[in-house]
Amino acid sequence: EVQLLQSGGGLAQSGGSLRLSCAASGFNFRTYGMSWVRQAPGKGLEWVSGINESGDDTSYADSVKGRFTISRDNSENTLFLQMNSLRGEDTAVYYCAKDHHDYWSKYGVDVWGQGTMVTVSS
């Protein structure tokens, strides 16, 4: 079964840091691009960041650029999101997600993690 199991998250102070992890299983992780998507309480979906299958191409939403870093460890089948300089507006449920097609990011994401809540307090 294809699964993404998230860990990390929780409560952080404004200006603080958190690291999210997403452990993949049931598919060839090293051939799929991955993404992070977040959803603030009562709001819509916001794409946060994406990374290609090899990890050498990354992209970020303007709202997190320069503060968040996406990375992956293909030997451990794990995706990461390092979040620094956290702000109140970063409070959200964060989801990791797998590209629908290997080596191709333009068909959306078809498997999602269970989500992890990040709360930033001032």
Contact set with another protein (CB under 8 A): 35, 37, 44-47, 50, 59-62, 95, 100, 105-110, 112-115
Task: Tell me the closest approach of the beta carbon of residue 63 to another protein, in angstroms.
Answer: 9
Contact criterion met (CB below 8 Å) for 96 and 7: no
- Cβ nearer to another protein, comparing 1 with 107: 107
Task: Tell me the closest approach of the beta carbon of residue 10 to another protein, in angstroms.
Answer: 19
- Cβ nearer to another protein, comparing 14 with 22: 22
DSSP for 36-89 reads EEEE-TTS-EEEEEEE-SSSS-EEE-TTTTTTEEEEEETTTTEEEEEE-S--GG
